Amino acid sequence: MNNTRIFAPVLRVALLWCAVLCAAQPRSLAGQSCEEPRCYSAREILQQFATEAEASTSGVGDVAVLHTLTRSSPTVSEARRDSIADGLMEQALGAGGSRTRIKAALYLTMAGSTEREIVLPDAAHRVVRLLRSSSDREVREMILRTVPEMKDRHTLMPILTEVASQPDKTPRHIMNHDVDEATHAVVALSRMGEQGRAALRDLRQRRAIRSERAASMLDNLSRQNPGLN
């Protein structure tokens, strides 16, 4: 009997299963023949981004995210850009590990940075939603430290003045921290031009700052910058 005729059907089945299993495996953006963002789905890019975040490394996932959010290109559709931005919002709000949450929030602020010629149009609105929705103290503090670099300051002003006027909410077990959220907001406003200085003058005049640490910080900043008085 011809062995080829016997094993041919078995070989075809084996090859079929191999194709199915290989297709089911998640791809890494690194080491592929095409590493341009257009070659990968939004889901694959976000998976790689999270993997790099948890490993505390930077790589093609980072590049692909920023390329998609801040590039004007025929290969970057509005739907694809929004899909990446939505995915970062989910990661920042808790769909990933701690490092992923912080890094996702950071990249959303970076996508609206003054350093970028093209920005994610609704970056500031997304950051405001994160500040209102996130329960992660580290995420919120990281955002407050980086928002002064964002272009759309008008959208950010209401939430920053709101945070600056809130009482000190720092949990007792970490009260040894020098800076609470209100203090971060005061510092952020002081770095946001005349709009920010005007907001701080208004808060001072209304005696709206309730955190002792934030009030002390504003006093120190005012001595250095008379424009805050």
Q: For residue range 102-114, list pLDDT tens digits in order.
A: 999 999 999 999 8
Tell me, yes or no, whether 72 lies in a domain: yes
Assess contact for 60 and 30: CB atoms under 8 A: yes
Rounded to an integer, what is the distance from CA 152 to the centroid of its chain?
16
What is the per-residue pLDDT for 67?
86
What is the per-residue pLDDT for 77?
85
Tell me, yes or no, whether 26 lies in a domain: no
Half-sphere exposure of 163 (CA within 13 A, CB side): 28
Assess contact for 85 and 129: CB atoms under 8 A: no
Domain residues for the domain of 66 are 33-122
Tell me, yes or no, whether 134 lies in a domain: no
Can you give the pTM of this predicted structure? 0.80
What is the per-residue pLDDT for 172?
61
Are 42 and 109 within one domain? yes
**What tokens appear for 51 in the block?**
């993997």
Are 99 and 168 within one domain? no
What is the per-residue pLDDT for 167?
93
Cα-trace Rg, the chain: 24
Tell me, yes or no, whether 189 lies in a domain: yes
The DSSP bridge partners found for residue 113 are 150
Tell me, yes or no, whether 142 lies in a domain: no
% of the chain surpassing 90 pLDDT: 60
Are 41 and 116 within one domain? yes
What is the per-residue pLDDT for 70?
85
Q: Which residues in the chain show pLDDT less than 70? A: 1-38, 72-75, 171-178
How many Å from the N-terminal Cα to the C-terminal Cα in the chain? 99
Tell me, yes or no, whether 137 lies in a domain: no
Please count the structural domains in the chain. Answer: 2
Tell me, yes or no, whether 10 lies in a domain: no
What is the per-residue pLDDT for 17?
34
Give the span between the Cα atoms of 31 and 40, in whole angstroms: 13
